[in-house]
Structure 1
Amino acid sequence: MRIGLLGTGPWAGRVHAPALAGHPGVEFTGVWGRRTEATEALAKESGTRAYTDVEALFADSDAVAIALPPDVQAELAVRAAEAGCHLLLDKPVATSVTAARRVADAAGRAGVASVVFFTLRFDPAVAEWVHRQSAAGGWFTGSVAWLGALFSEGADSPYAASPWRREKGALWDVGPHVLSVLLPVLGELTGPDAVTAVAGPGDTVHLVLRHDGGASSTVTVSLTAPVAAAGRAVELRGAAGTSVLPEQREDGVVVFRRAVDALTDSARSGVPHLCDVRFGARVTEILAAAEAARAT
């Protein structure tokens, strides 16, 4: 599969580009970015071509991988789908319900495959855990504490310079990861009171979720926790006892290659992936509902 990359930031440079360049089943078509110098530098480092015209990259590719801010991603994903390119998107698909639905609708009209890179779902240990807990059923409640220190004093991360993360906070950056794990295990969210949200210190958000199967879950996410308090814990309790989400064991490059494989398989088989753009749009709908609940 010929795959082009849109984006030149830290995530694209550390994960997407090396994964595409080193994938034996991929022809890394080229890189397009909003900054010419960064585009040329990443393309040279990756042994591929720099594009100044995104439509030309679409024309030369079977698929595109996008590593851009979500609302920039959404606009370009629609254009890529209309050009016939399969979509390997980052999370969240968009930060507005309208934009996310537009991407899903465009992919559906064009008949292209799509995968949203929820990193946990492409790590084998985590994916197997999600499958087993979903099959077990009988869960009573789930609890998640996902505390990052991205914007805290003493933290040192290249992603702290991300304007969209600073604006939208943990709800939109960490929230998609949480939902990608909880929804397939505990079930969908429906009803007017299915999502409740309260603001905590900094960008911290506390959620209470009511799932279709009768279970409830509580979620705390933050990017402004003290460095010493940062960490992640995901726990389920139910008829089968207690189960804890395992740590992601493989690095981002290896996990992203698995997402590439998933996109390739979906494109060839015509079978939608569980983490396709429709699921990604649903995650955006839930996060938007949480944002509205927090505001009131």
Structure 2
Amino acid sequence: MSAVRVGLVGAGPWAKIFHAPMITGGPETELTATWARRPEAAQEIADEFGGTVASSFEDLLDSVDALVFAVPPFIQADLAAQAAAAGKPMLLEKPLGVDLAQAEKLVQAIDEAGVPTQVMFTNRYSPKIRDFLDKARAQTPIGAVGYYINQAALPGGTFATPWRLEKGNLLDLGPHVLDTLDAAVGPIVEVRGEGDLKRWYILTATHEGGVISQAQLSLTSPVVEDVAGVKVYTEQGELSCEFVGKDGDPEAPNVIRREFAEVVTSGKSHEVDVHRALYIQRLLEQAAPKN
């Protein structure tokens, strides 16, 4: 089977750290072209990882089989709708959009186009976390806690990007924690949040069956290393997982690449697709501060 020709949308820090190495890390996909709002950033990707620099987003669409997105959510939502209309399978970032209305509009465009999708809930591709989820689902939960605490958005931080600084920790870190808690303990029927989105935010979720979970989120805490993961307490004991990161599961990018290639070649969306992402974004909207 020939490699899937992938177009990378975006050339920021995360594209260089994760997306480009993931695409080029195995035979299933090749990085054919990169497009970014700053051509010089796209050229840096091409110089290090190969492929060409697309002169426009439309040119990128014309030259590839599928797209991988690494741009802020408000940009992703508009461009992904164009890609859907062009019939391109997509590996999207979460959140899908900067707000629920934007996410719903994008999913409608994707459904109307009928293109397959996969979403970068990074932890869901870690074999270690998949094993954790299988064990958690087989036990009887009592309660759970989640946490994602780092200093990524402090001044000078790698991820002190404008949209994160404006929107805070809920949209960036919340998807990881809520998705994992929901997958481990059971569907969340209600979630509320309190605290400061720019400093420290706490989520309290009620799952089907009445089990309660809580999570702490911060992008601006001066910790030495990220503190990120989930613990589930069950009638049978305690289960825990740490999220993929600098010291996380190195196999996750390989799983993402292989499974995205299968999405593209089969024409069938991944289990973790835009509908899963929209479900999580609705929970984020519910958990947002009520002004």
TM-score above 0.5: yes
Correspondence for 1:50: 53
- Check the 8 A contact 2:191/2:283 in 1, yes or no: yes
- Pairs within 5 Å for 1:178-189: 178-189=177-188
Give the C-alpha shift of residue 201 in structure 1.
8.3
- Pairs within 5 Å for 1:1-296: 1-134=4-137, 136-152=138-154, 157-160=157-160, 162-190=161-189, 194-200=190-196, 202-228=198-224, 231-246=227-242, 248=244, 249-251=248-250, 254-291=251-288, 294-296=289-291
Give the C-alpha shift of residue 189 in structure 1.
2.5
- Structure 2 Cα separation of the partners of residues 282 and 54 of structure 1: 28
- Check the 8 A contact 2:151/2:157 in 1, yes or no: no
- Check the 8 A contact 1:152/1:227 in 2, yes or no: no
- Check the 8 A contact 1:141/1:216 in 2, yes or no: yes
Instruction: Give the root-mean-square deviation of aligned CA atoms.
Output: 2.0
Give the C-alpha shift of residue 67 in structure 1.
0.2
Question: What amino acid sits opposite 1:117 in the alignment?
Answer: M
Greater helix fraction, Structure 1 or Structure 2: 1
Q: Deviations over 1:80-114 (max 9, x none)?
A: 11111101011211121121122222222222211
- Structure 2 Cα separation of the partners of residues 121 and 41 of structure 1: 29
Q: Deviations over 1:16-68 (max 9, x none)?
A: 11222332121322000001211222222222110111112112211100000
Question: What amino acid sits opposite 1:87 in the alignment?
Answer: M
Structure 1 residues 38 and 267: alpha-carbon distance in aligned structure 2, compared to 1, 3 A threshold: closer
Question: What amino acid sits opposite 1:219 in the alignment?
Answer: A
- Structure 2 Cα separation of the partners of residues 45 and 36 of structure 1: 14
User: Any unmatched runs of 5+ in structure 1?
Assistant: none
- Structure 1 Cα separation of the partners of residues 197 and 175 of structure 2: 20
Bigger mean CA deviation after superposition, 110-119 or 240-249: 240-249
User: Any unmatched runs of 5+ in structure 2?
Assistant: none
- Check the 8 A contact 2:28/2:261 in 1, yes or no: no
Q: Deviations over 1:134-163 (max 9, x none)?
A: 2x142121111221122347xx63222x11
Give the C-alpha shift of residue 132 in structure 1.
2.3
Question: What amino acid sits opposite 2:179 in the alignment?
Answer: S
- Structure 2 Cα separation of the partners of residues 38 and 137 of structure 1: 47
Give the C-alpha shift of residue 270 in structure 1.
4.6
Alignment size in residue pairs: 285
Question: Which ranges of 4 or more aligned residues in structure 1 deviate by more than 6 Å?
Answer: none
Structure 1 residues 159 and 200: alpha-carbon distance in aligned structure 2, compared to 1, 3 A threshold: closer
Alignment identity in percent? Answer: 31
The SS at the match of 1:159 is coil
Question: What amino acid sits opposite 1:118 in the alignment?
Answer: F
Give the C-alpha shift of residue 202 in structure 1.
4.5
The SS at the match of 1:31 is strand
- Structure 1 Cα separation of the partners of residues 287 and 113 of structure 2: 31
Question: What amino acid sits opposite 1:257 in the alignment?
Answer: N
- Structure 2 Cα separation of the partners of residues 280 and 265 of structure 1: 19
- Structure 2 Cα separation of the partners of residues 196 and 172 of structure 1: 14
- Structure 2 Cα separation of the partners of residues 26 and 45 of structure 1: 16
Give the C-alpha shift of residue 187 in structure 1.
2.0
- Structure 1 Cα separation of the partners of residues 225 and 70 of structure 2: 29
- Structure 2 Cα separation of the partners of residues 67 and 80 of structure 1: 14
